[in-house]
């Protein structure tokens, strides 16, 4: 399988993709390795994750450069992702013992009865991952899954195979056995072959379309299925904000990672009384974003990782223009080697446009005028997705009232495009089922076993 740098269009590596037979063999390897791994004391399993953290620190710049070459992410943002990964690992190192400890939930001496819960590993799990934050979305699954005593068949996205191989190498060097963390390399067909193996759980990050296929494939098997899918995340800006500060925050939320984040801001609603001022300041802000060589320290907008996405963005632009939206900035692909799209801002958009309904996953945004909070809430909820949603206002009570009515897994007051290891990461509707992160996101890789113990 060829690995292409999306910023230049040049092939940078050739990796061996797994055949179906290889996938079957890898499954058998992981099945055999899991039992011994589950018997390793949890403190020792945690020690391997701590050693993995050390490997990341030692390899930091190499990993950042590989990521940038492979997905076109600006180099500073690749480094940020790795720094964020360290923080996540620290969370899992600190919280896993407590989250996975055997619990005594009832004891009655007269009945000689005790009730306990143990957290048993699921067994062999498939971790099918996305390319946009390969370290984040991968580690949210494989770190707690390994700590809990599972074997992991890890399929990185075909757009992030080199990063996936780095991860496997570092985990193995850190002491996770090769038959416990097993990389599976390939595209969607390889992912489908992996799912045909009798795994005990599927943890998927990717698009709704693929997620729906995976849910259907797993449906009759009675295994744990978690799907972290896309979003069409809205922000509502109220009239009482400091416009400049709100613009800076929301524009960054929309364009960071070249708009290719699951929780990128994808729709902006602005109160009518500050609409014109907000739109003008927003365009100014985005005009200042530098598009260019992702290896350049000053680049903020990188390449579009998947070439077919250029077609999606072009269609959204044409549709918005046809339906009367005002194009204020950008609006076209950049004619150069590699995959590039200009940072694009539309005003006067509405929900008849694909730009406000379908995930864009690129550096493009629509701003819509609203007259009151109720309309804003209705529009924010007018989506099949529900990953995140936010409101900018000085008034906490108003923010809480609005956010309580919004259907989303995560809600933000005066911030956006933010993930915390301490909080559960989950979606509503087409944004998925299940969760990662937080202590729930540690226990999710286990089956709680109920013990009824009566003394003789």
- As measured in angstroms, the least distance from the Cβ of 132 to ligand NAD is 5
Question: What b/e string do you get for 42-54 counting C-beta neighbours within 10 Å, with b at 16 or more?
Answer: beebbebbeebbe
Q: Which of the following is catalytic: 70, 95, 228, 285?
A: 228
Nearer CB in complex with ligand NAD: 338/386:
386
User: Who's near 35: CB < 8 A, 6+ residues apart?
Assistant: none
| Interface stretch with ligand NAD, choices 2-10, 65-73, 151-159, 341-349 (CB under 6 A) | 151-159
CA distance 70 to 360: 21
Nearer CB in complex with ligand NAD: 69/232:
232
CA-based nearest residue to 250, from 83, 412, 76, 401: 412
Nearer CB in complex with ligand NAD: 431/446:
431
Nearer CB in complex with ligand NAD: 137/347:
137
Binding mask 248-267 for ligand NAD (x = CB under 6 A): --------------x-----
Tell me how many helices (H) and strands (E) the chain has: 13, 20
Interaction of residue 229 with ligand NAD, rule CB under 6 A: yes
- As measured in angstroms, the least distance from the Cβ of 384 to ligand NAD is 12
Residues 83-142 that bind ligand NAD (CB under 6 A): 128-133, 137
Q: Which of the following is catalytic: 238, 262, 263, 416?
A: 262
Q: Are 34 and 27 in contact (CB under 8 A)?
A: no
| Interface stretch with ligand NAD, choices 12-20, 71-79, 162-170, 200-208 (CB under 6 A) | 200-208
SS3 content of the chain, % helix, strand, coil (to 5): 45, 20, 35
Nearer CB in complex with ligand NAD: 246/355:
355
Phi–psi pair at 120, nearest 5 degrees? -90, 140
- As measured in angstroms, the least distance from the Cβ of 305 to ligand NAD is 8
Question: What b/e string do you get for 152-182 counting C-beta neighbours within 10 Å, with b at 16 or more?
Answer: bbbbbbbbbbbbbbbbbebbbebbbbebbbb
Which residues face 426 on adjacent strands?
A: 435
Nearer CB in complex with ligand NAD: 48/383:
383
Nearer CB in complex with ligand NAD: 149/366:
366
- Tokens of residue 306, six digits: 């998947």
Interaction of residue 427 with ligand NAD, rule CB under 6 A: yes
Q: Are 304 and 6 in contact (CB under 8 A)?
A: yes
Q: Are 416 and 119 in contact (CB under 8 A)?
A: no
Q: Are 254 and 262 in contact (CB under 8 A)?
A: no
Position with the least CB separation from ligand NAD: 191
Residues 441, 445, 449, CA angle at the centre, nearest 5°?
115
- How many chain residues interact with ligand NAD (CB under 6 A)? 32
Binding mask 381-420 for ligand NAD (x = CB under 6 A): ------x---------------------------------
Interaction of residue 365 with ligand NAD, rule CB under 6 A: no
Interaction of residue 188 with ligand NAD, rule CB under 6 A: yes
Active site residue 262: yes
Active site residue 416: no
For every residue of 32-51, DSSP letters joined together read HHHHHHHHS-HHHHHHHHHH
Residues that bind ligand NAD (CB under 6 A): 128-133, 137, 155, 157-158, 187-188, 191-192, 195, 205-207, 210, 213-214, 228-231, 262, 359, 361, 387, 425, 427, 432
By annotation, the residues acting in catalysis are: 228, 262
């Amino acid at each position: 399988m060829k690995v292409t740098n999306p910023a230049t269009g040049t092939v940078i590596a050739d990796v061996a993709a797994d055949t179906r037979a290889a996938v079957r063999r890898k499954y058998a390897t992981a099945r055999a390795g899991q039992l011994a791994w589950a018997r390793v004391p949890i403190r020792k399993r945690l020690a391997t994750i701590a050693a993995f953290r050390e490997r990341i620190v030692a390899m930091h710049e190499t990993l950042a450069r590989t990521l940038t070459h492979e997905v076109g992410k600006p180099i500073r943002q690749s480094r940020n992702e790795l720094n964020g990964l360290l923080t996540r690992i620290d969370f899992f190192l600190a919280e896993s013992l407590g989250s996975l400890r055997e619990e005594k939930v009832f004891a009655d001496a007269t009945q000689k009865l005790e009730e306990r819960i143990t957290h048993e590993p699921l067994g062999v799990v498939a971790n099918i991952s996305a390319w946009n934050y390969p370290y984040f979305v991968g580690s949210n699954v494989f770190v707690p899954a390994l700590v809990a005593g599972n074997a992991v068949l890890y399929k990185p996205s075909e757009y992030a195979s080199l990063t996936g191989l780095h991860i496997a190498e570092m985990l193995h060097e850190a002491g996770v056995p090769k038959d416990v963390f097993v990389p599976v390399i390939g595209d969607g067909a390889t992912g489908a072959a992996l799912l045909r193996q009798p795994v005990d759980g599927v943890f998927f990050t990717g698009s709704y379309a693929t997620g729906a296929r995976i849910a259907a494939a797993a449906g009759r098997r009675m295994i744990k299925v978690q799907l972290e899918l896309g979003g069409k995340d809205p922000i509502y800006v109220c009239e009482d904000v400091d416009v400049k500060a709100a613009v800076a925050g929301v524009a960054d939320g929309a364009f960071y990672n070249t708009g290719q984040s699951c929780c990128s801001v994808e729709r902006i609603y602005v109160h009518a009384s500050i609409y014109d001022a907000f739109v003008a300041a927003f365009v100014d802000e985005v005009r200042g974003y530098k598009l260019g060589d992702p290896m350049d320290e000053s680049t903020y907008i990188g390449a579009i990782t998947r070439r077919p996405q250029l077609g999606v963005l072009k269609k959204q632009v044409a549709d918005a223009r046809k339906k009367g939206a005002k194009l204020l900035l950008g609006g076209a692909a950049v004619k150069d080697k590699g995959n590039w799209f200009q940072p694009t801002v539309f005003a006067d958009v509405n929900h008849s446009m694909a730009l406000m309904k379908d995930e864009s996953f690129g550096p493009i945004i629509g701003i819509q005028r609203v007259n009151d909070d109720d309309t804003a809430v209705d529009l924010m909820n007018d989506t099949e997705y529900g990953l995140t949603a936010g409101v900018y206002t000085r008034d906490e009570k108003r923010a809480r009232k609005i956010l309580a009515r919004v259907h989303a897994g995560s809600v933000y007051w005066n911030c956006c495009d933010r993930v915390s290891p301490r909080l559960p990461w989950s979606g509503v509707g087409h944004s998925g089922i299940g969760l990662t992160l937080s202590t729930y996101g540690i226990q999710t890789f286990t089956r709680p076993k109920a013990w009824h113990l009566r003394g003789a």
